[in-house]
Amino acid sequence: MKCAFIGLGANLGPSLETLRQAATQLAAHPLIDAFELSALYRSKPVDAQGPDYVNAVARLGTRLEPPALLALLQETEQQYGRQRPYRNAPRTLDLDLLLYEGAQLDTHSLTIPHPRMHLRAFVLQPLHDLAPELVLEQGSLAALLKACDHQEIERLP
Protein backbone atom coordinates (compact mmCIF):
# COMPACT_ATOMS: atom_id res chain seq x y z
CA MET A 1 0.00 0.00 0.00
CA LYS A 2 1.43 3.36 -1.07
CA CYS A 3 0.39 6.82 0.13
CA ALA A 4 -0.74 9.29 -2.53
CA PHE A 5 -2.16 12.81 -2.51
CA ILE A 6 -4.78 13.86 -5.05
CA GLY A 7 -5.87 17.44 -5.82
CA LEU A 8 -9.59 17.88 -6.49
CA GLY A 9 -11.13 20.93 -8.12
CA ALA A 10 -14.23 22.06 -10.00
CA ASN A 11 -15.68 25.35 -11.18
CA LEU A 12 -18.51 24.37 -13.51
CA GLY A 13 -21.89 23.05 -12.46
CA PRO A 14 -22.61 22.01 -8.87
CA SER A 15 -18.90 22.09 -7.90
CA LEU A 16 -19.29 21.40 -4.19
CA GLU A 17 -21.57 18.41 -4.79
CA THR A 18 -19.33 17.12 -7.59
CA LEU A 19 -16.23 17.16 -5.38
CA ARG A 20 -18.00 15.35 -2.57
CA GLN A 21 -19.43 12.72 -4.93
CA ALA A 22 -16.09 12.16 -6.69
CA ALA A 23 -14.32 11.81 -3.33
CA THR A 24 -16.89 9.25 -2.17
CA GLN A 25 -16.54 7.36 -5.44
CA LEU A 26 -12.73 7.25 -5.21
CA ALA A 27 -12.83 6.22 -1.55
CA ALA A 28 -15.04 3.25 -2.47
CA HIS A 29 -12.61 1.89 -5.10
CA PRO A 30 -11.40 -1.61 -4.09
CA LEU A 31 -7.72 -0.68 -4.55
CA ILE A 32 -7.98 2.53 -2.50
CA ASP A 33 -7.88 2.54 1.29
CA ALA A 34 -7.63 5.02 4.15
CA PHE A 35 -9.13 7.88 2.13
CA GLU A 36 -9.05 11.24 3.92
CA LEU A 37 -10.39 14.48 2.44
CA SER A 38 -9.20 17.93 3.51
CA ALA A 39 -11.51 20.83 4.16
CA LEU A 40 -13.06 22.37 1.05
CA TYR A 41 -11.87 25.75 -0.19
CA ARG A 42 -13.07 28.38 -2.66
CA SER A 43 -10.42 30.04 -4.82
CA LYS A 44 -10.10 32.27 -7.87
CA PRO A 45 -8.80 30.63 -11.05
CA VAL A 46 -5.02 30.94 -11.46
CA ASP A 47 -3.78 31.78 -14.96
CA ALA A 48 -7.34 31.32 -16.25
CA GLN A 49 -10.79 32.86 -16.49
CA GLY A 50 -14.11 31.56 -15.20
CA PRO A 51 -16.05 31.07 -11.99
CA ASP A 52 -14.39 30.44 -8.64
CA TYR A 53 -13.16 26.92 -7.94
CA VAL A 54 -13.99 24.58 -5.12
CA ASN A 55 -10.80 22.72 -4.16
CA ALA A 56 -9.63 20.01 -1.78
CA VAL A 57 -6.85 17.47 -1.40
CA ALA A 58 -7.25 13.80 -0.56
CA ARG A 59 -4.70 11.54 1.10
CA LEU A 60 -5.16 7.87 0.35
CA GLY A 61 -3.52 4.50 0.44
CA THR A 62 -3.52 2.59 -2.82
CA ARG A 63 -2.30 -0.57 -4.48
CA LEU A 64 -2.59 1.12 -7.89
CA GLU A 65 0.69 2.12 -9.51
CA PRO A 66 0.90 5.79 -10.62
CA PRO A 67 -0.15 5.26 -14.27
CA ALA A 68 -3.14 3.14 -13.21
CA LEU A 69 -4.12 5.70 -10.55
CA LEU A 70 -3.90 8.47 -13.16
CA ALA A 71 -6.11 6.42 -15.49
CA LEU A 72 -8.68 6.03 -12.68
CA LEU A 73 -8.62 9.78 -12.01
CA GLN A 74 -9.09 10.62 -15.69
CA GLU A 75 -11.91 8.07 -16.01
CA THR A 76 -13.61 9.66 -12.99
CA GLU A 77 -13.23 13.13 -14.54
CA GLN A 78 -14.91 11.84 -17.72
CA GLN A 79 -17.83 10.45 -15.71
CA TYR A 80 -18.45 14.02 -14.50
CA GLY A 81 -18.30 15.51 -18.00
CA ARG A 82 -14.71 16.83 -18.00
CA GLN A 83 -13.78 18.42 -21.31
CA ARG A 84 -10.42 19.83 -22.35
CA PRO A 85 -11.17 22.42 -25.06
CA TYR A 86 -8.05 24.48 -24.19
CA ARG A 87 -5.38 24.81 -21.51
CA ASN A 88 -6.79 25.91 -18.12
CA ALA A 89 -10.39 25.79 -19.36
CA PRO A 90 -13.12 25.76 -16.67
CA ARG A 91 -13.79 22.24 -15.39
CA THR A 92 -16.65 20.15 -14.11
CA LEU A 93 -14.00 18.09 -12.28
CA ASP A 94 -10.22 18.18 -12.15
CA LEU A 95 -8.29 15.40 -10.40
CA ASP A 96 -4.51 15.74 -10.21
CA LEU A 97 -2.05 13.20 -8.86
CA LEU A 98 0.12 15.46 -6.70
CA LEU A 99 2.38 13.07 -4.83
CA TYR A 100 2.89 9.31 -4.77
CA GLU A 101 5.05 7.70 -2.11
CA GLY A 102 8.51 6.94 -3.43
CA ALA A 103 7.74 8.04 -6.99
CA GLN A 104 9.45 10.64 -9.13
CA LEU A 105 8.20 10.50 -12.70
CA ASP A 106 8.46 12.78 -15.70
CA THR A 107 6.68 11.28 -18.68
CA HIS A 108 4.54 12.68 -21.45
CA SER A 109 1.36 11.93 -19.49
CA LEU A 110 2.44 12.16 -15.83
CA THR A 111 4.85 14.18 -13.70
CA ILE A 112 5.22 13.36 -10.01
CA PRO A 113 5.55 15.40 -7.89
CA HIS A 114 3.06 17.67 -9.65
CA PRO A 115 5.20 20.40 -11.24
CA ARG A 116 3.13 23.46 -10.19
CA MET A 117 1.62 22.49 -6.84
CA HIS A 118 4.19 24.52 -4.91
CA LEU A 119 2.85 27.66 -6.63
CA ARG A 120 -0.84 27.14 -5.82
CA ALA A 121 -2.39 28.13 -2.49
CA PHE A 122 -5.49 26.09 -3.41
CA VAL A 123 -3.28 22.97 -3.33
CA LEU A 124 -0.91 23.94 -0.53
CA GLN A 125 -3.54 24.88 2.07
CA PRO A 126 -5.57 21.65 1.88
CA LEU A 127 -2.33 19.67 1.65
CA HIS A 128 -1.17 21.45 4.81
CA ASP A 129 -4.48 20.50 6.48
CA LEU A 130 -3.70 16.82 5.91
CA ALA A 131 0.08 16.72 6.32
CA PRO A 132 1.49 19.91 7.89
CA GLU A 133 4.89 18.26 8.37
CA LEU A 134 5.28 17.54 4.66
CA VAL A 135 8.26 19.17 2.96
CA LEU A 136 8.33 19.49 -0.82
CA GLU A 137 11.48 19.86 -2.90
CA GLN A 138 10.83 23.64 -2.92
CA GLY A 139 10.44 23.91 0.86
CA SER A 140 8.01 23.47 3.75
CA LEU A 141 4.29 23.86 3.14
CA ALA A 142 4.19 26.79 5.57
CA ALA A 143 6.94 28.66 3.66
CA LEU A 144 5.38 27.89 0.29
CA LEU A 145 1.97 29.07 1.52
CA LYS A 146 3.52 32.32 2.70
CA ALA A 147 4.92 32.86 -0.81
CA CYS A 148 1.38 32.39 -2.19
CA ASP A 149 -0.36 34.69 0.30
CA HIS A 150 -1.47 36.99 -2.56
CA GLN A 151 -3.75 34.20 -3.86
CA GLU A 152 -7.27 34.41 -2.44
CA ILE A 153 -8.49 31.21 -0.78
CA GLU A 154 -11.48 30.81 1.53
CA ARG A 155 -12.28 27.77 3.67
CA LEU A 156 -15.86 26.64 3.12
CA PRO A 157 -18.11 25.67 6.02
Residues with a known catalytic role: 82, 91, 94, 96
What angle in degrees, to the nearest 10, is found between the helix axes of 66-79 and 15-27? Answer: 140
**Rounded Cα–Cα distance for residues 21 and 143 (Å):** 32
Q: Is 4:60 a contact under the CB 8 Å cutoff?
A: yes
Long-range interactions of 73-79: CB distance < 8 A, separation 24+: 73/6, 73/26, 73/97, 76/22, 76/25, 76/26, 79/25
Which residue from 26, 94, 95, 93 is spatially nearest to 61, judged by alpha carbons? 26
